[in-house]
């Protein structure tokens, strides 16, 4: 959801050409899977366009050199990525909700079933991220 929410906000502000945004999984479980259907429904309900052909890929060590920022939804994701990318010498790692001025994880719909709360967390954080750059 975060990839497409950020892209939609950047496009609405006319700055999408300045960003290359990709989401990636921290484990192999979801590799090749499409966007989770409840996430698709939530994005659609908010009018957020998404690439229906998008499938999950796993983050790689090479991603550290490819991206200026690597943003995590929760602390568990951060710990798992640190197994793949153990060092962050350039300070690229950042928690998503820090862009919203909060020191907590994004609400996880996998456990709560509340995709709307997740959407709102991500939307607020993405707006903060755009204001930060």
Q: Where are the beta strands (DSSP E) in the chain?
A: 70-72, 93-95
pLDDT above 90 (res 21) = yes
Q: What is the mean pLDDT of residues 82-101?
A: 97
Q: How far apart are CA 21 and CA 50, in angstroms?
A: 12
Percent of the chain whose predicted confidence (pLDDT) is above 70 = 100
| Cβ-proximal residues to 90 (8 Å cutoff; 6+ apart), any chain | none
The pair of three-digit structure tokens given for residue 116, joined into one six-digit string: 């709307």
Beta strands in 43-92 (DSSP E): 70-72
Mean pLDDT value across residues 14-28: 95
Q: Is 106 exposed, middle or buried (0-12, 13-18, 19+ CB in 10 A)?
A: buried
pLDDT at 107: 95
User: What global pTM score does this model have?
Assistant: 0.94
- Show the CA angle centred on residue 40, arms to residues 34 and 45, nearest 5°: 170
Model confidence at 50: pLDDT above 90? yes
- Would you place residue 132 in the very low, low, confident or very high pLDDT band (cuts 50, 70, 90)? confident
């Amino acid at each position: 959801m975060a990839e497409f929410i950020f892209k939609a906000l950047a496009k609405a502000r006319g700055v999408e050409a300045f960003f290359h945004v990709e989401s990636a999984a921290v484990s192999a479980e979801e590799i090749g899977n499409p966007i989770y259907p409840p996430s698709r429904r939530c994005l659609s309900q908010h009018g957020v366009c998404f690439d229906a052909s998008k499938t999950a890929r796993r983050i790689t060590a090479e991603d550290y050199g490819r991206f200026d920022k690597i943003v995590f939804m929760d602390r568990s994701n951060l710990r798992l990525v640190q197994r793949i990318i153990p060092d962050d010498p350039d300070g690229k790692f950042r928690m998503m909700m820090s862009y919203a001025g909060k020191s907590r994880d994004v609400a996880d719909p996998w456990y709560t079933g509340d995709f709307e709360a997740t959407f709102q967390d991500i939307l607020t954080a993405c707006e903060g991220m755009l204001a930060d750059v």
